[in-house]
Amino acid sequence: MTTPFDYAPAPESRSIVDIKPSYGLFINGEFVDGHGKSFKTISPATEEVLAEVAEADDADVDAAVKAARRAYDRVWSRMPGRERAKYLYRIARIIQERSRELAVLESIDNGKPIKESRDVDIPIVAAHFFYYAGWADKLEYAGRGADPRPLGVAGQIIPWNFPLLMLAWKIAPALACGNTVVLKPAETTPLTALLFAEICQQADLPPGVVNIITGAGGTGQALVAHPGIDKVAFTGSTDVGKAIARTVAGTDKKVTLELGGKAANIVFDDAPLDQAVEGIVTGIFFNQGHVCCAGSRLLVQESIADELLAKLKRRMSTLRVGDPLDKNTDVGAINSAEQLARIRELSDIGEAEGAGRWSPECVLPQHGFWFPPTIFTGVTQAHRIAREEIFGPVLSVLTFRTPAEAVEKANNTPYGLSAGIWTEKGSRILKIASQLRAGVVWANTFNKFDPTSPFGGYKESGYGREGGRHGLEAYLR
């Protein structure tokens, strides 16, 4: 087995970010004190407390929704699309200008490697604002009639795994279509959303068009239940998604849900194996596996399983786990103690149910939340690690003999968000892709995102699409 190449530490400086000791809520264009308590956000890599953040209570949620309604009625819904576009372009350019600051802050608050926040998250965030800025004055071509109208006020709730990227997926299309928003970031990762609020001020966005209210699940619940919102856009777990669907049932609120996944990454015997290994690694170890569309079930054709697994283990031995701000880090910190406990629990269950567990040797830092890249072999479809979303750097490996068996196993899940196919044959890609019940199917690549391309799930992975022209439909009548 190869040993990892030793790199000298190459930490990105944190001096570019200015984290305040405490943050209020961003309502009607200003930062205001909340009426509720406050909570702490920490760095998952060190457990250091970064800031105190206000927890919005019912009165704060109400104030934010009212501010969004005023801005909708008086300004934003009346503004011509070409004028709205100017604000979105301005926001996109400021994001690019402040990209290093955003990337460092995202890595500190979330634990993801700077390599990813700098080269993946933030560039795609800017791209989303640029892309939807381009649509703002062309909505009559969106496929919703000659004069499509916005919905009104959108209540948006996002998870912690891609804090700023999920914010962009929600806010950019909503604003382009003429809606105003109240957004709640996740409890463990509020800081980049609050920096985004400053960017809205810097862009002179009219007050109330974007409101950011921090808090935990209760704040999200109050937002969803508020009678003043016209639309709920939620990204998060399937359980909370179901609760939200129950809350809005019987009202005329529109809903889109982007929920969990348990994607199959299918490798056929004719696949270019070294490329496939890179795709498997990206599929499950990118962002510590905290990815809804992660390729968490590897389906490998039996005849090449041994060779592929040997290559995969060799590659995993070169992954560097540690300081998210080090430019050489491949796998950062697990986002919270709670998430770490869940990953540990499901991994222990995998072992107890008889699957073979393997991780490369790696020294984990003493403080913070860490889990080594892990694979389970000999997994069967009945194993819980083959059925439940682990949302961590843990891969379940299953084998198949025929293409039909691969499709059957891939579709044998309550989820249907994404899938991957690795083969040299174009015809096989097309045939298998058409048989998979998944919103996104990657071929000979994995975890690639682009603002022009729609994203979303089938079955318990949710409904509605974000991204592309389809993403506009969620915000137009």
| Residue 216 interacts with which of ligand NAP, Mg ion, none, CB < 5 to 8 Å by class | ligand NAP
**Is residue 83 flagged as an active site residue?**
no
| Residue 240 interacts with which of ligand NAP, Mg ion, none, CB < 5 to 8 Å by class | ligand NAP
301, burial (CB in 10 Å: exposed 0-12, middle 13-18, buried 19+):
buried
| Residue 258 interacts with which of ligand NAP, Mg ion, none, CB < 5 to 8 Å by class | ligand NAP
Give me the helix-helix angle, 163-176 and 99-110, nearest 10°. Answer: 130
Question: How would DSSP label each residue in 17-83?
Answer: ----SEE-EEETTEEE--SS-EEEEE-TTT--EEEEEE---HHHHHHHHHHHHHHIIIIITTS-HHH
Nearer residue to Mg ion within complex by CB, 50 or 95: 50
Cβ proximity of 441 and 419 under 8 Å: yes
Active-site position among 258, 389, 460, 473: 258
CB of 420 to ligand NAP, least distance (A): 16
Decide if residue 41 touches Mg ion (CB under 5 A). Answer: yes
Give me the helix-helix angle, 217-225 and 238-248, nearest 10°. Answer: 30
CB of 237 to ligand NAP, least distance (A): 3
Structure tokens at 389: 């979303």
Decide if residue 188 touches Mg ion (CB under 5 A). Answer: yes
273 phi, psi to nearest 5 deg? -65, -40
Contacting positions for ligand NAP (CB under 6 A): 157-161, 184, 186-187, 216-217, 220-221, 224, 235-237, 240, 243-244, 258-261, 292, 389, 391, 417, 457, 461-462
CB of 216 to Mg ion, least distance (A): 13
Q: Tell me the per-residue interface mask from 90 to 109 with Mg ion, x by CB under 5 A, - otherwise.
A: -------------------x
Amino acid at 180: T
Give me the helix-helix angle, 99-110 and 81-97, nearest 10°. Answer: 70
Part in contact with Mg ion (CB under 5 A); list of ranges 114-122, 185-193, 301-309, 368-376 = 185-193
For residue 248, what are the contacts with CB-CB under 8 A and spacing of at least 6? 224, 232, 255
Decide if residue 288 touches Mg ion (CB under 5 A). Answer: no
How far is residue 118 from each of residues 41, 78, 103, 159, measured CA to CA in Å? Answer: 21, 36, 5, 19
| Residue 340 interacts with which of ligand NAP, Mg ion, none, CB < 5 to 8 Å by class | none
**Is residue 292 flagged as an active site residue?**
yes
CB of 189 to Mg ion, least distance (A): 5
CB of 294 to Mg ion, least distance (A): 21
Chain positions contacting Mg ion, by CB under 5 A: 41, 109, 188
Residues acting as catalytic residues: 258, 292
